[in-house]
Amino acid sequence: MPTRTARTAWNGSLEQGSGQVELTSSGVATFDVSFPKRAAEEAGGTTSPEELIAAAHSSCYAMQLSALIAEAGGTPQSLEVKADVSLGPDNPGFKLTGIKLTVRGEVDGLDADSFAKAAQAAKESCPVSKALTGVEITLDAALES
């Protein structure tokens, strides 16, 4: 399996500095980052490590859930996955305080209970969830009618 790479160029102090995160492997984008905007309610056109983790987690989870639905005999028509990653104080510094995964699915061939079981198994087995075991991850999963 391949290794993927991202690179950050940072200039200045934590409070006054800023940087750019480059998705090096794919070359699809470069994003601005700054600590003041990371800690603010409004991102103001910049991303943050938490948003990048949310993107990684939601996409990894969607892939894993799709595979587990198929293993359970279902056919995923669509999955909408949102990951909310929270940052809070720690001593020293900061820490991730929680991740909430929300998934809504349109799935043929599975009832609500089977979908919930697949959703829980995906939360436990997706590689990003495994990497983030030091953070509480909660799940809200439901089939759409």
- Given a cut of 80, whether residue 123 has pLDDT beyond it is yes
- Given a cut of 90, whether residue 54 has pLDDT beyond it is yes
Does 127 lie in the same domain as 88? yes
Q: What's the whole-number mean pLDDT along residues 8-29?
A: 96
pLDDT tens-digit series, residues 70-93: 999 999 999 999 999 999 999 999
Q: What's the whole-number mean pLDDT along residues 33-41?
A: 91
Q: What's the whole-number mean pLDDT along residues 30-59?
A: 94
Does 103 lie in the same domain as 61? yes
Is residue 44 in a domain? no
- Given a cut of 80, whether residue 112 has pLDDT beyond it is yes
Is residue 1 in a domain? no
Does 114 lie in the same domain as 63? yes
Does 121 lie in the same domain as 68? yes
CA 65, distance to chain mean position in Å, is: 14
Both structure tokens of 73: 């005999």
E strand or H helix that includes residue 96: strand 94-108
Does 108 lie in the same domain as 129? yes
Burial class (CB in 10 A: 0-12, 13-18, 19+), 45: exposed
Between CA 35 and CA 18 the distance in angstroms is 7
Does 32 lie in the same domain as 53? no
What's the confidence (pLDDT) of residue 145?
73
Does 53 lie in the same domain as 31? no
Does 26 lie in the same domain as 64? no
Q: What's the whole-number mean pLDDT along residues 5-17?
A: 96
Does 59 lie in the same domain as 34? no
Does 88 lie in the same domain as 136? yes
Does 91 lie in the same domain as 32? no
Does 97 lie in the same domain as 29? no
The secondary structure of 25-85 as a DSSP string is TT---EEEE-HHHHSSSS-TT-B-HHHHHHHHHHHHHHHHHHHHHHHTT-EEEEEEEEEEE
Is residue 65 in a domain? yes
Give the dihedral sign, CA 89/90/94/99.
negative
CB distance 69 to 118 below 8 Å: yes
Starting at the earlier edge strand, list the strands of the sheet with 75-89: 75-89, 94-108, 137-143
Domain count, the chain: 2
Q: What residue numbers bound the domain in which 113 lies?
A: 49-143
What's the confidence (pLDDT) of residue 40?
87
- Report the percentage of the chain scoring pLDDT > 70: 100
Is residue 2 in a domain? no
Q: What's the whole-number mean pLDDT along residues 115-144?
A: 97
Q: What's the whole-number mean pLDDT along residues 22-30?
A: 97
- Given a cut of 90, whether residue 41 has pLDDT beyond it is no
Q: pTM of the prediction? A: 0.94
